[in-house]
Structure 1
Amino acid sequence: MEKKEEYLYESKATANMKLKDSLNPQEIIEERKGFVCYNSQNKSGTLRCDENSVSGAVSQRACVYCGARVVLNPITDAFHLIHGPIGCASYTWDLRGSLSSESELFRNSFSTDLRETDVIFGGEKKLRAAIDEIFIKFHPKLIFIYATCIVGVIGDDIDAVCREAEIKYPMMRVIAVKSPGFSGNKAMGYRAACNAILKLIGDRKSDKKVKGVNYLGDFNLAGEAWVIQSYLKKIGVPVVAKITGDGKYEELLKAPEASLNIVQCAGSMEYLAKKMQELYGIPYIRISFLGVEDTENSLLQIAHILGGEDIVEKTEKFIQEEEDKVKDKIDFYRKRLEGKKAAIYVGGGYKAISLIKQFKSLGIETVMVGTQTGKPRDYEIIKEITNRGTVILDDANPSELERFMLEKGADILVGGVKERPLAYKLGVAFCDHNHERKHILSGFIGALNFAEEIDLTVNSPVWKYV
């Protein structure tokens, strides 16, 4: 039996070496080479990013429509109507692991179900009928209507339909979301969603300012927005509006009353924060509640900007109490994880930066890091906080992820549902940090959960037999 196991281990190692040798740098698509680099910590070198995906590479990004749904879907009492074929609604049904404190309406997916006849003669009549039916049966205060690829092709004027509907039903807002899938990349969908939110809020400059924050770019996965809201409440900072996790129509209308916008997911929401600064005079900061270090820094930043000495002192005391609860347990996992190597492929650059810091706090070196929507300044920070030779990628495809995970000997990949099969195929551990997850990874409790999950998967006995 021992000889057989030795043979299996040798076979796996040999197979991996052969695969690694067969994937040489020249096999990266020529047009993709500017999006991939080894970190030399040379500030003069720039990585191409924030562009449309290269043709011929199977991008891990989703489409414009999906990006818009990602941002808007967690508005819990809104009616999300997809103007397009039924498949678009099916693809994004119950899109995130977002939780609601009240309405569950957002969990449903509604569609005009455009067919061949509608493509020929237009789908506006069907859209009007759908809006009438929604009002009669549900009486929602807010409907978002998403334009899909086919609507972009046939040219339905959904803006006109929305205007007519608001005149017909004055108590109901009907807002068009310009999101044909082919009209750009996922980041364009984020922007379309942010423009829809701005249209909803409208020209509502408020003279009555609350010494509180709007929490942008958290989608209440597994209830994480509630965790952060409870932290802020304990240090004396109210949350005026959550945009968009557990967001509500009436709450969003109050957003101009806040004194500060805090942005968790900069990739999806920094555009909205900039527009709100311009329109409503609300300053913003980029924060992160992933990992102990970033959670502490974010809370202190907020306290110093909004509060006097009393809030700062309360925040420092709160941080110490929370850190004491998790420190010993995280140290235990650190001892079990030191020396391991991690690969990261996530949506936004700011999340990647937080994950690199989290891994470093656990004694794990990040050997590969990539994002779908990272900006130039995100990659500059990534270069500064990773070691020389770390592979950095923008909008990677599966072939590149496989190649560099093997080359760098990664023990774990942190990514989303599309990356899971890649890791398991190569015998690499995997951690789901995407929007389908059901467990908290934000805040102090999230940092402990993350350390425990990494330990469970990296040190699982299964890798001896895979």
Structure 2
Amino acid sequence: MEPIRKDELEAKDCGSQAPKSKPCPRPKPGEAAGGCSFDGAQITLLPIMDAAHLVHGPIACAGNSWESRGTLSSGPSLSQYGFATDLNDNDIIFGGEKKLKDSIDYIAGRFAPPAIFVYSTCVTALIGEDMDAVCKEATGRLGIPVIPVNSPGFVGSKNLGNRLAGEALLQYVIGTGEPEDNIPLGVNLIGEYNIAGEMWDIEKLMNSAGITLMSRITGDARYKEITWAHRAKVNMVVCSRALLGLAKAMESKYHIPYFEGSFYGAKETTYSLRQMAFLMNDREMERRVDRLTEREESRLIQDLRPYRKILKGKRAVLYTGGVKSWSIISALKELGIQVVGVGTNKSTDDDIARIAERVGDDTEFIPEGGASRILKTVRDRKADIMIAGGRNMYVAMKEQIPFVDINQERHRAYAGYEGLLRLAKEMTYSLANPIWKLASSPAPWDKEVPYDR
């Protein structure tokens, strides 16, 4: 076994000045299409389930982003509370810092959370609220961390908000605590948000191989475990565009090696587990990982056999972004599906390079565009199925195209070996659904009925 070394996977983060590296799009003030920076920061931090999350701004800012992703919790649910200072016109004119202080005091007294994250918004940034000072004073007075997250929506895209949230974790959280003596040092998963419970499948595999999951950043996380993330031996970056900068900063500050990986598809899952064991420099762990992956892949081959018969040779258009833009391709190829079109509008240069390695020369890249652009690719390439986010679901239904939801709103976990089996089932059910034959047939009133004399 010779895993790929981390330096072979080097990628540029959002702060890179390299002329050919553009992991994050240039911020366009006022443009929130696809999510703003405020939304991106909440996406990253809300999965810290036992912390309180307070939005300092008008109530609509909290309402528009609250509960928008399918992140699941195995315990606390405090992060699901929609806390907001609910600034009104008078607060905007005369200042809302007193309201912020009162809100922090109420949350601390009523819920006693281990930490409170306070999010700035466009309104509070524009009127010059000194949120950092309020949070610092509250931290000293209340004795719990009150963490400012300065990511107002107008500063840039959702991906920039992910990065700003990572910087807040590095500045205020990581390194402020120590693990208990009975917790063995292991791996941090960075950029995995437990969508539809995927983290639980991943953690089960890691435990089977004897790999300790030190800190979840941030799917189904607890605040305390993130404070000791600096003691991990390895960082695995699951979503490179979102939090690659955090992994690089931790490597520089705490000397923790990192690698980029994925759990979509059997081969990607096997690679990620082997790379963890390799970077931890534990030969016995490597042998356990080899035995585990060989057993799981053998079992999966048998379980996938009836679905591969139906899926082999089918053509798909994949429209997603980030790590899924290339890792899902690997999973689809294992199912015998040909990807004839793939979206790249949310992918880094390195993501696009990985896509190119995994698809044929005739695959069409979709850099931008909406439903009309995707539909054109589906028709031109004679695709059998569309794999995209929930916002495209109704377009596919109207156009009578089989569809599978792959984005963060989904309710099915597709990570790991079990996840690939679920994906195969979902795609088979979608393609074989009798509704497509029924929808394409003439309506009863349009059918020719023989005249009976």
Q: TM-score range by the shorter chain?
A: 0.7 to 0.9
Q: In the alignment, does 2:117 pair up with 1:144?
A: yes
Gaps of 5+ in 2: 1-19, 440-453
Residue 205 of structure 2 corresponds to 231
Residue 109 of structure 1 corresponds to 82
Aligned counterpart in structure 2 of residue 78 of structure 1, from 51, 60, 63: 51
Aligned counterpart in structure 2 of residue 189 of structure 1, from 161, 181, 184: 161
Shift of the alpha carbon at 1:229? 1.3
Q: CA RMSD in A?
A: 2.4
Q: TM-score w.r.t. structure 1 length?
A: 0.84
Aligned counterpart in structure 1 of residue 392 of structure 2, from 419, 422, 427: 419
CA–CA distance in 2 between the matches of 1:167 and 1:289? 41
1:435 maps to amino acid? Q
CA–CA distance in 2 between the matches of 1:323 and 1:222? 23
- Which aligned pairs between 1:274-289 and structure 2 lie closer than 5 A? 274-289=248-263
**Structure 2 contact 237–259 (Cα < 8 Å) conserved:** yes
Q: In the alignment, does 2:340 pair up with 1:347?
A: no
**Structure 1 contact 60–397 (Cα < 8 Å) conserved:** no
Q: In the alignment, does 2:218 pair up with 1:244?
A: yes
Shift of the alpha carbon at 1:79? 0.4
SS of corresponding position for 1:418: helix
Runs of 4 or more above 6 Å deviation: 46-49, 53-56, 205-209
Distance 1:211 1:139, change over 3 A: closer
**Structure 1 contact 59–396 (Cα < 8 Å) conserved:** no
Shift of the alpha carbon at 1:90? 1.4
Aligned counterpart in structure 1 of residue 148 of structure 2, from 176, 188, 198: 176
CA–CA distance in 2 between the matches of 1:408 and 1:54? 33
**Structure 2 contact 315–337 (Cα < 8 Å) conserved:** yes
Q: In the alignment, does 2:322 pair up with 1:326?
A: no
Aligned counterpart in structure 1 of residue 352 of structure 2, from 354, 379, 386: 379
Shift of the alpha carbon at 1:60? 5.7
Distance 1:394 1:176, change over 3 A: farther
Residue 275 of structure 2 corresponds to 301
Distance 1:237 1:48, change over 3 A: closer
Shift of the alpha carbon at 1:251? 0.7
- Which aligned pairs between 1:59-138 and structure 2 lie closer than 5 A? 61-138=34-111
Residue 376 of structure 2 corresponds to 403
Distance 1:190 1:54, change over 3 A: closer
Tell me which of the two structures has the higher relative contact order, counting C-alpha pairs closer than 8 angstroms and 6 or more residues apart: 1
More divergent stretch after superposition (298-307 vs 267-276)? 298-307
CA–CA distance in 2 between the matches of 1:270 and 1:49? 10
Distance 1:122 1:408, change over 3 A: farther
**Structure 1 contact 292–323 (Cα < 8 Å) conserved:** yes
**Structure 1 contact 338–363 (Cα < 8 Å) conserved:** yes
Shift of the alpha carbon at 1:184? 0.7
Residue 273 of structure 1 corresponds to 247
CA–CA distance in 2 between the matches of 1:133 and 1:211? 37
Cα deviation, 1:272-303, whole Å, max 9, x if unaligned, reads 11111111111101111111111111111112
Q: Once the two structures are aligned, what percentage of the paired residues are identical?
A: 37
SS of corresponding position for 2:391: coil
Residue 232 of structure 2 corresponds to 258
SS of corresponding position for 1:217: strand
**Structure 1 contact 74–246 (Cα < 8 Å) conserved:** yes
CA–CA distance in 2 between the matches of 1:413 and 1:50? 26
Count residues in correspondence.
418
CA–CA distance in 1 between the matches of 2:414 and 2:177? 35
SS of corresponding position for 2:387: strand
Cα deviation, 1:41-100, whole Å, max 9, x if unaligned, reads xxxxx89873248899x9862111111111101001110101111112112222322222
Distance 1:277 1:381, change over 3 A: same
Residue 422 of structure 2 corresponds to 449
Distance 1:75 1:415, change over 3 A: same
Gaps of 5+ in 1: 1-45
Cα deviation, 1:117-142, whole Å, max 9, x if unaligned, reads 22222221211111111112112121
Q: TM-score w.r.t. structure 2 length?
A: 0.87
